[in-house]
């Protein structure tokens, strides 16, 4: 990847021209996409930002979006190759920084949001099991493509800026690709703090928010937010709902296309009057205000922004442990979050939810300490770190 070069004296005051690679540039497509949008919006206040994507819902006037004409979604590995080639062609000249949030073979800044396929395939594989994986890879164009592009992202690490979204993910990449400790930095997701922060929403405000969203008929509302319902732990949460008292209901925010399948499961469990699917929501402030407890029993996450958002909006949080959630090592159980032992254990999940509801002092403790915790993860400060990484790379 070639970039423009500058004299060191010019860099501090230089307005950078940045290309951001994010296939679906929208807050409502998942945590990685939310991260890319939030960071790009912050950068656009001081720099010239161009986004290269397949789809977007960009409303920021300072960001220029460039959409790939080919609306190809399947197969994913072939889409990845086409997107990689298209973005390389359009960003190979004229940009100071090409920052990729996707699995592409180019870009001088790479942010990793998920575990590498290499790790998922080969971790803890030895002997005959390792040989079987190798045979599987050699006979699969899909796997060969993923692994080749993944390797290209970390190649020549000393000439790139490699960034992981959590400390545990950094360790995983270092171990998986035999990288030096200094080769990978960490820039966690951030959160936009609400304009008016209230750790305890007034009863009238909460009731108004519930009526607007159609959340009626229950005293206590749990909230789950996730693009992939299965991966974010909805199965165990529904099983836990069966064990919880009738006065507790669940609101689910996420991908609308999955609702019919999961509504059928809800009906089979007899929860059709206690579980409400809200689909994708653009006014999440109101959703957080309407609910009482945030549950993130995820089966696979790096550093979920929704957990930070829930904390910022004054909700107690129940979250999965590592390695299911690779940021849970930052939380202290019963201090700033309730950290589960196993997100598959529905009875234990129901027990922890009830414990928070029935112990007001614990709920107050969680909200207060979580609010202090989240102050360290504002996008205002994180974007300064990202800009410093850019300038260090260019220098």
CB 108 within 8 A of CB 161: yes
For 66-132, give the DSSP string.
Answer: EE-S----SSHHHHHHHHHHHHHHHHSSS-SEEEESS--S--SEEEE-S--HHHHHHTT--HHHHHH
- Can you tell me whether residue 305 is helix, strand or coil? helix
Architecture of domain 8-190+378-394: 3-Layer(aba) Sandwich (3.40)
The pLDDT tens digits along the chain (395 residues) read 444 433 333 445 579 999 999 999 988 777 888 899 999 999 999 999 999 999 888 778 899 999 988 776 678 888 999 999 999 999 999 999 999 999 999 999 999 998 999 988 888 788 888 899 899 989 999 999 999 999 999 988 778 899 999 999 999 999 999 999 999 999 999 888 776 555 555 678 888 899 999 998 888 999 999 989 999 999 999 999 999 999 999 999 998 999 999 999 999 999 999 999 999 888 888 999 999 999 999 999 998 899 999 999 999 999 999 999 989 999 999 999 999 999 999 999 999 999 999 999 999 999 999 999 998 898 888 999 999 999 999 98
Count of Cβ atoms closer than 10 Å to residue 115 Cβ:
18
Residue 323 tokens, joined:
């390695």
- Can you tell me whether residue 277 is helix, strand or coil? strand
Residue (of 78, 83, 82) closest to 142 by Cα position: 78
- Can you tell me whether residue 247 is helix, strand or coil? coil
Residue 331 tokens, joined:
């939380």
Phi, psi (rounded to 5 degrees) for 123: -60, 125
**203-377 classified as CATH 3.40.50.1000:** no
CB 190 within 8 A of CB 308: yes
Return residue ranges of the chain for CATH 3.40.50.2000.
8-190+378-394, 203-377
Q: In what order do the strands lie in the sheet with 17-21?
A: 63-67, 48-53, 17-21, 97-100, 109-112, 161-164, 184-186
Residue 338 tokens, joined:
């309730």
Phi, psi (rounded to 5 degrees) for 24: -120, 95
pTM for the whole thing?
0.83
CB 37 within 8 A of CB 144: no
pLDDT at 72: 65
Residue 333 tokens, joined:
């159980």
pLDDT at 339: 96
Tally the residues of the chain: 395
Radius of gyration of the chain (CA): 22
pLDDT at 174: 94
CB 119 within 8 A of CB 176: yes
The shares of helix, strand and coil residues in the chain, as percent rounded to the nearest 5, are 45, 15, 35
Compute the distance between CA of residue 222 and CA of residue 231 in angstroms, rounded to an integer.
18
């Amino acid at each position: 990847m070639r970039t423009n070069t500058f004299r060191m004296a010019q860099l501090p005051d230089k307005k950078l021209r940045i290309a951001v690679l994010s296939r679906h540039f929208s807050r409502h497509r998942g945590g990685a996409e939310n991260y890319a949008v939030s960071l790009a919006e912050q950068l656009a206040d001081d720099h010239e930002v161009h986004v290269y994507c397949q789809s977007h819902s960009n409303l920021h006037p300072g960001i220029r979006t460039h959409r790939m004409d080919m609306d190809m979604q399947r197969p994913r590995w072939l889409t990845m190759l086409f997107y990689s080639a298209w973005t390389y062609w359009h960003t190979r000249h004229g940009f100071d920084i090409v920052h990729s949030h996707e699995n592409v073979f180019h870009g001088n800044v790479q942010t990793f949001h998920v575990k590498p396929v290499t790790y998922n395939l080969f971790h803890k594989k030895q002997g005959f099991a390792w040989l079987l994986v190798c045979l599987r890879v050699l006979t699969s164009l899909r796997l060969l493509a993923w692994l080749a592009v993944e390797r290209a992202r970390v190649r020549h690490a000393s000439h790139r800026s490699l960034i992981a979204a959590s400390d545990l993910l950094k360790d995983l990449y270092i171990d998986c690709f035999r990288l030096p400790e200094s080769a990978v930095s960490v820039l966690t997701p951030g959160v936009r703090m609400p304009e008016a922060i209230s750790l305890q929403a007034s009863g009238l405000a909460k009731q108004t928010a519930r009526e607007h969203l159609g959340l009626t008929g229950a005293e206590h509302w749990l909230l789950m937010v996730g693009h992939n319902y299965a991966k974010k732990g909805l199965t165990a949460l529904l099983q836990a709902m069966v064990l919880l008292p009738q006065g507790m209901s669940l609101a689910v925010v996420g991908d609308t296309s999955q609702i019919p399948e999961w509504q059928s499961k809800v009906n089979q469990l007899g929860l059709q009057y206690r579980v409400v699917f809200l689909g994708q929501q653009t006014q999440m402030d109101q959703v957080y205000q309407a609910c009482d407890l945030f549950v993130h029993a995820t089966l696979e996450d790096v550093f979920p922004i929704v957990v930070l958002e829930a904390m910022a909006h004054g909700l107690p949080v129940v979250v999965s442990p590592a390695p299911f959630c690779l940021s849970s090592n930052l939380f202290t159980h019963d201090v700033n979050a309730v950290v589960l032992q196993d997100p598959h254990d529905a009875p234990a999940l129901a027990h922890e939810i009830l414990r928070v509801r029935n112990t007001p002092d614990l709920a107050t403790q969680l909200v207060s300490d979580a609010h202090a915790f989240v102050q360290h993860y504002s996008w205002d400060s994180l974007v300064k770190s990202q800009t410093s990484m850019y300038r260090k790379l260019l220098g």
